[in-house]
Amino acid sequence: MYTKEQTAAWQEATRELLDRLSKGIDKQSVNSLRGVLRFHEYRYYVLNDPLIADAEYDRLYKALEKIEQQNPEIITPDSPTQRVALGLTKDFPTVQHLVPMLSLDNSYNAEDLLDFDRKVKEGAQLDEIEYCVEPKFDGGSISLIYENDMLVRAATRGDGVAGDEVTTNIRQIRSVPLSAAFSSIGIEQAEIRGEVLINKDNFSRYNESLIEEGLPPLANPRNAASGTLRLKDPKEVAKRNLEVFVYHLSFFTLKKEGATPSTLLTHANTLQLLWDLGFRSPEKEKKVFKGIAAVIDYCKEFEEKRDNLPYEIDGMVIKVNSIPLQEKLGMTSHHPRWAVAFKFKARQATTRLTGIEFQVGRTGAVTPVAKLEPVAVGGVIVSSISVHNQDYIREKDLRIGDQVLIERAGDVIPQIVKSLADVRTGNEKKITFPTKCPVCSSTLHKEEEEAVWRCINLECPAQVAERIIHFVSKDAMDIRGLGEANVRKFIELGLLKDIPGIYSLDFEKISQLEGYGKKSVDNLKAAIEGSKQQPLHRLIYALGIRYVGETTARTLAQAVHHLIDFRTLSLDQLQELEDVGTKVAESIYSFFQNGGNIALIQQLEKAGLTLLNTKKEIVTDGNLSGTTFLFTGTLTALKRSEAEELVRAQGGQILSGVSAKLNYLVAGEEAGSKLEKAKKINSIRIISESEFLQLIGK
């Protein structure tokens, strides 16, 4: 898309515009400003290799916005400011596709591919075929129509003949160019096919936000992408960071009648052309082979790499490279004869739902867990899956005895995709939600706007156990030797009944229990004693206040001198803290207004725990101040949490994902998609664990 010289020129123009920002940029520079912004969108969203800081991009973008506001007559539909739509989408009208969007025939093994090759050779009457092989992106298919270089329409696949028009939402995706120079090769109208997807990092982030809000996570990135395209609010679409890969020029008309441009005679060249026009096509991933044997090898090779890619693929697509030959081979009513999908090992499986167990969590939430006949999916045996809440069960219409389709996408927690209602025998039983707590029998409650039923008896043994387990857990107070099994055992034996009880355990009695030698009791004693010195943020996290995760706990710890100070903070004051919204503030507020919780804190202080914000945790003048880190893969010398502590102790910051803001990626063993992504951003330094240790002087 941009040659070396052009890249240098745009970068130069960027510097020049940034310099002029303070003096003000006038409307004469509008084209240069747009060009610069398009260039950086391309660097960021298509190449994954930004050349300026996000804040610099934002400043230039705001400058363009200002000029356009003052001179509305100069706005063009493909201006970078014109992605953002103002209003909500009313509906998604049905539109006819220019050519039907067919699906692909599937193959699952080498034999199937040999079979495909045989048929192609027969149809082509050739001894050897040239194939182009590329990833099969696992998202939702779309069609993009460009007329006179402008994007005029985007539609989903629908039934293949007609789909939903989703132009406004597609315009929010910055790897889709709003205009592209098709006219440079004489094309007037073009229809391009591609796949909308959400990458794994953005997907996990989105699922985490759902879970935090108490909503069920989505089963896979594919559903997240297709669901997002149907959102009415384009601003929400923009926030989800969808991406588009294009892989097919399905239709075009020429400005002047004449021969097809020679670039369009092979599929590989078409991908190259689309790439050159600024699209994200699998230009780097595709490979051309003569003969099917090499194709088979490449498919297998790619399957190995599957988990290291930043996005999901579910197979490879093998296409006859010559377009005239494609035309000669034609299609059946369902799929082209010149292409086939090679599907990777399934990450879905069907099994039977044999029952539902209701578990009570530390906040009293009653979670239904589906019990399944054990089945292997994506390399692990799954025998139970959380089904979140009553609404979820109703929506999926789950019944006991049902055959269910389950999926485990990459490292995502397994989910039930759907029940197979068509194969019911009539003996399936509806799932009834309990009205009483399955552990303590008190009546369950549900708040109006919530989907979760809760046991509100704070003394409920299930909650007590879960609260203690959370309190001692690794990321909280990290009391080794007092794991889940021990907590449950001590509760059962009456040795432990609440959190303060941890600090008055009767070690005499414990040492009489079977399996508790002097050494293990001494270790336990030391671990409990040691936990009294844990920093305040760990204690805050350990208290298990709803919606307060580790990050919020750190923010909170910085806000007070003593834990009890929270009793005096108002809702407004709490909301002023970073990342603390209404819901979180309300939860913190009510926690510290509760007498029982205050008594708990006082007991902990009496037991000798650190409730003071003794050491200032944000080091501003450390060796690593202003430097950002991210750890990925398995570390051997340190635990990840220890390594992160070391960074923070020297003033560095830990980021949650790979972006241009990241300075160092510490790659441990078997590092996956984060490493791959970081490799694409030149400014990130990738270091090993031992280099990291050197860096921090260990």
Per CB under 6 A, residues contacting ligand IVH are: 102-104, 134, 136-137, 141, 193, 195, 247-248, 317, 336, 339, 341
DSSP, collapsed to helix, strand or coil, labels residue 415 as strand
Nearer to ligand IVH, 195 or 644 (CB): 195
Nearer to ligand IVH, 70 or 103 (CB): 103
In the sheet that holds 403-407, the strands lie side by side as 380-386, 366-377, 348-360, 403-407, 415-419
CB of 141 to ligand IVH, least distance (A): 3
Nearer to ligand IVH, 34 or 193 (CB): 193
d(CA 373, CA 366): 23
Q: Name the catalytic one among 23, 136, 319, 446.
A: 136
- For 289-310, b/e burial (b = at least 16 CB within 10 A) is beebeebbebbeebbeebeebb
**Which residues does 25 contact at the CB level (< 8 Å), separation at least 6?**
17, 33, 63, 67
Q: How far is CA 561 from CA 575, 611, 612, 613, 615, in A?
A: 18, 8, 6, 5, 10
Residue 90, exposed/middle/buried by CB under 10 A (0-12, 13-18, 19+)? exposed
CB of 333 to ligand IVH, least distance (A): 13
Nearer to ligand IVH, 339 or 477 (CB): 339
CB of 571 to ligand IVH, least distance (A): 48
Nearer to ligand IVH, 221 or 336 (CB): 336
Which residue intervals of 365-473 are DSSP H helices?
A: 390-396, 461-472
Question: Are residues 461 and 440 in contact, defined by beta-carbon separation less than 8 angstroms?
Answer: yes
Which residue intervals of 532-634 are DSSP H helices?
A: 536-542, 550-559, 571-575, 582-593, 595-606
Query: CB atoms < 10 A from the CB of 439, how many?
Result: 19
Query: CB atoms < 10 A from the CB of 626, how many?
Result: 10
- From first CA to last CA, the distance across the chain in angstroms is 45
Nearer to ligand IVH, 136 or 648 (CB): 136
Q: Does residue 235 carry a catalytic annotation?
A: no
Nearer to ligand IVH, 248 or 399 (CB): 248
Nearer to ligand IVH, 334 or 685 (CB): 334
CB of 99 to ligand IVH, least distance (A): 9
d(CA 237, CA 84): 10
Q: How far is CA 311 from the centre of its chain?
A: 9
**Structure tokens given for 532:** 């009294």
d(CA 7, CA 30): 19
CB of 226 to ligand IVH, least distance (A): 11
Give the residue among 110, 121, 114 at the shortest CA–CA distance from 329. Answer: 121
Taken in order 346, 348, 352, 356, the sign of the CA dihedral is: positive
CB of 191 to ligand IVH, least distance (A): 11
d(CA 35, CA 78): 11
Nearer to ligand IVH, 138 or 407 (CB): 138
CB of 292 to ligand IVH, least distance (A): 18
Nearer to ligand IVH, 325 or 479 (CB): 325
Q: How far is CA 559 from the centre of its chain?
A: 30
CB of 24 to ligand IVH, least distance (A): 46
Question: Are residues 126 and 187 in contact, defined by beta-carbon separation less than 8 angstroms?
Answer: no
d(CA 351, CA 374): 8
CB of 357 to ligand IVH, least distance (A): 38
Give the residue among 482, 436, 488 at the shortest CA–CA distance from 461. Answer: 488
CB of 142 to ligand IVH, least distance (A): 8
Nearer to ligand IVH, 97 or 193 (CB): 193
Beta bridge partners of 352: 403
Instruction: Count CA within 13 A, CB hemisphere, residue 225.
Output: 26
CB of 404 to ligand IVH, least distance (A): 24
Question: Are residues 142 and 154 in contact, defined by beta-carbon separation less than 8 angstroms?
Answer: yes
Give the residue among 390, 325, 400 at the shortest CA–CA distance from 122. Answer: 325
Give the residue among 182, 135, 390 at the shortest CA–CA distance from 277. Answer: 182
**Position with the least CB separation from ligand IVH:** 141
Question: Are residues 312 and 138 in contact, defined by beta-carbon separation less than 8 angstroms?
Answer: yes
Show which residues are catalytic.
136
